Amino acid sequence: MKHLILLNDPPYGTGRSFNGLRMAHALAKDDAEADITGIALTDAALCAKKGQKTPEGYTNLERMLHRVLTAKGRVLMCGTCMDARGLTETDIMEGPRRSAMDELTQATLSADKVLVF
């Protein structure tokens, strides 16, 4: 089954992107046939910023994204959202890749389930 997980919130300050990444990892872990795609939109683009150093008690979203990628998920980054936040490909961790609305639209149309966080 193809799962599409849309992340909209910043990496810290709310739990929405955290919970979306938890769900992505759980789906990948519990269903070896799952096809997981995460799309980072708006402030969620900051979830993939490399070199995050979180204070004690905070979950590091860069590490959570790495877990999803290790489980054979893919992560697409809205290029317009990256530009609006001053993020370049060199600013983001290895694995997620810059995308455009056409590809995001195709991922949505081909998904069996769409979850929005």
pLDDT digits 0-9 by tens, 77-101? 999 999 999 999 999 999 999 999 9
Q: Residue 69: which residues within 8 A CB-CB, separation 6 or more?
A: 75, 95, 96
If one looks up domain 2-116 in CATH, what number appears? 3.40.1260.10
DSSP class of residue 13 equals S
The amino acid at 77: M
19-51 b/e (C-beta count within 10 Å ≥ 16 → b): ebbbbbbebbeeeeebbbbbbbbbbbbbbbbee
| Domain chopping of the chain, boundaries | 2-116
Residue 71 burial class via C-beta count within 10 angstroms: exposed 0-12, middle 13-18, buried 19 and up: middle
pLDDT digits 0-9 by tens, 6-49? 999 999 999 999 999 999 999 988 998 999 999 999 999 999 99
